[in-house]
């Protein structure tokens, strides 16, 4: 009966008794001063419409990873895409963390760790099974995560807001970010994923397991679009209409981000 419930909700980790989370992470943005060129003492009179200066080029943040590392991460993640429930089951079994008992509904942790390891961002010595029902809360797997994501190589960031309410245009996710999503009061499961790429428009993606009307699959999903609030998987996971296929992220997330 328990396995059936897990499959139904695609629960990667069962919600635990909430602990008091650290203070909400905030980003401070430095103000950019603007200067004006002095006007010339005299200038010829002109009736021509002044040319509109071209807008400055926008450089989207890509984090600490090099272009080569970002490509390796994207390739590693996309190799796990399994667009049917049958393929997703085969992928879960091939990961080897539970042998033939692996279930695609509960593979999010081992899948995320496998992506990080195969892209070279995390030491390959950590067994995938250690991320099966991982619990980062104090008194559980907190110390273990300090070994997987050492402080000299990863920054830990805490967000307490629902993922459906965060302004990701002001606080974007970056390639290589590992997220643990907390169910919160309204969620039915907890989930783990890795941001596998961010495109030129600032849209973030992840390859992860998803519960669908056809069953559990593994696919690359758009997490959010900074230009279109409300679009993306984060908003589907916090939509009450999706309560029958599982919801998560109401309790925010803990994030481990690669450092330069």
Q: Return the domain boundaries, the chain.
A: 62-258
Length of the chain: 260
Q: What is the predicted pLDDT for the residue at 183?
A: 96
Residue 49 — pLDDT band, cuts 50, 70, 90? low
Alpha-carbon gap, residue 51 to 43, rounded angstroms: 16
Q: State in Å, rounded, how far the first CA of the chain is from the last one.
A: 46
Round the CA-based radius of gyration of the chain to a whole number and report it.
22
Angle at 86 between CA 82 and CA 91, to 5 degrees: 50
With a pLDDT cut of 90, the percent of the chain lying above it is 73
Pick from 173, 189, 191: nearest CA to 110: 191
Residue 161 — pLDDT band, cuts 50, 70, 90? very high
Q: Dump pLDDT digits (tens) for 178-234.
A: 999 999 998 999 999 999 999 999 999 999 999 998 999 999 999 999 999 999 999
CB 199 within 8 A of CB 70: no
The H-assigned helical ranges of 29-135 are 67-78, 85-95, 108-118
Sign of CA dihedral 117, 121, 124, 126: negative
Answer with the residue of higher pLDDT: 105 or 22: 105
Q: What is the predicted pLDDT for the residue at 246?
A: 86
Q: The whole model's pTM is what?
A: 0.80
| Residue 257 CB contacts under 8 Å (≥ 6 apart), including other chains | 63, 64, 154, 155, 156, 157, 174, 176, 177, 178
Q: What mean pLDDT is reported for the chain?
A: 84
Q: What is the predicted pLDDT for the residue at 51?
A: 60
Residues 188-222, buried b or exposed e (16+ Cβ, 10 A)?
bbbbbbbbbbbeeebbbbbbbbbbeeebbbbbebb
Residue 244 — pLDDT band, cuts 50, 70, 90? confident
Q: What is the predicted pLDDT for the residue at 59?
A: 55
Q: What is the predicted pLDDT for the residue at 26?
A: 36
Average pLDDT in the 71-92 region? 98
Average pLDDT in the 140-151 region? 97
Average pLDDT in the 102-115 region? 97
Average pLDDT in the 77-84 region? 98
Residue 42 — pLDDT band, cuts 50, 70, 90? very low
């Amino acid at each position: 009966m328990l396995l059936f419930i897990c499959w139904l909700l695609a629960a990667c980790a069962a919600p635990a008794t909430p602990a008091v989370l650290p203070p909400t992470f905030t980003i401070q943005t430095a103000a950019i001063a603007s200067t004006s060129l002095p006007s010339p003492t005299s200038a010829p009179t002109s009736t021509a419409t002044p040319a509109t200066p071209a807008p400055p080029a926008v450089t989207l943040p890509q984090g600490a990873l090099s272009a080569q590392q970002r490509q390796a991460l994207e390739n590693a993640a996309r190799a796990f895409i399994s667009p049917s429930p049958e393929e997703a089951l085969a992928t879960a079994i091939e990961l080897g963390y539970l042998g033939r008992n692996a279930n695609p509904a509960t593979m999010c942790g081992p899948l995320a760790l496998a992506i990080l390891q195969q892209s070279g961002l995390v030491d390959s010595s950590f067994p995938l099974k250690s991320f099966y029902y991982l619990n980062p809360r104090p008194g559980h797997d907190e110390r273990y995560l300090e070994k997987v994501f050492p402080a000299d190589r990863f920054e830990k960031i805490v967000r307490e807001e629902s993922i459906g309410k965060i302004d990701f245009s002001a606080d974007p996710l970056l390639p290589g970010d590992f997220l643990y999503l907390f169910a919160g009061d309204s969620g039915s499961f907890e989930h783990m994923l890795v941001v596998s790429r961010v495109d030129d428009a600032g849209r973030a993606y992840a390859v992860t397991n998803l519960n669908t009307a056809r069953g559990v699959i593994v696919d690359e999903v758009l997490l959010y679009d900074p230009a279109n609030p409300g679009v993306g998987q984060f908003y589907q996971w916090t939509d009450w209409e999706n309560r029958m296929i599982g919801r998560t992220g109401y309790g925010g997330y803990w994030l481990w981000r690669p450092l330069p």
